[in-house]
Chains A and B, each alone.
Chain A
């Protein structure tokens, strides 16, 4: 099956810093989503981005499907950004909605 690798596994920032999270995948994808899981377990959909670039406030994401990677940018980080960031992909040629998640990046933002 498709492999999804996220880096870094852990990231510690001071409030106001910027960061870049990376997601590499081993095969073509129909769907790629970035999620933020908060300390209460809620999985919040940040971006649906199988290709191209999107921005939403302080967050933006870029997927280069031909090179099999995606990047999530967080600018001016806040303590509420803390949590786990997951990249999840739906491999090309597989059933719809069968998402494979990366191991996640644990982000801690200190005040």
Chain B
């Protein structure tokens, strides 16, 4: 699904760094999501935004801070991460109703050193 664009593709950061992951979609979807995928595991939901408001936080540590500045953009701000936070971070979008497909970006592969 290339209609959801994520940047950067790869990111290496130290535990004291602050960085941000970005996601953009132009499909008119008003629901956007962050998923985390550890190696050899399935993706797991982190956050859900609906109409630019946070609607679900799956008990994610506060060192991950999501932001939805407008209906097309979704950011994930990272601060004081741990090496175990190294993973593939996937963004997705969908319509705001049940029973509609989610469209995923290509992900950002994050390494925390």
Closest 3 CB pairs of A and B: A101-B42, A48-B101, A30-B99
- Residues of chain A touching chain B, judged by Cβ–Cβ distance below 8 Å, are 30-31, 33, 35, 40-45, 48, 50, 86, 88, 90, 92, 94-99, 101-104
Which of B12-20, B59-67, B104-112 forms part of the interface with chain A? B104-112
Q: How far is the CB of A23 from chain B (nearest CB, A)?
A: 12
Chain B interface residue count, Cβ-Cβ cutoff 8 angstroms: 30
- Residues of chain B touching chain A, judged by Cβ–Cβ distance below 8 Å, are 1, 31, 33, 37, 41-45, 48, 50, 55-56, 88, 90, 92, 94-104, 106-107, 109
Chain B residue nearest to A43 in the complex (CB): B104
Return the contact of B42 from the options A30, A92, A102 (Cβ within 8 A). A102
Greatest chain B CB density within 10 A among A31, A43, A97, A98 is at A97
List 24 A–B pairs whose Cβ atoms lie within 8 Å, in order of A's numbering. A30-B98, A31-B100, A31-B101, A33-B101, A35-B104, A41-B88, A41-B107, A42-B107, A48-B101, A86-B42, A88-B42, A88-B43, A90-B98, A92-B98, A95-B98, A96-B31, A96-B50, A96-B94, A96-B96, A97-B33, A97-B48, A97-B100, A99-B43, A103-B42
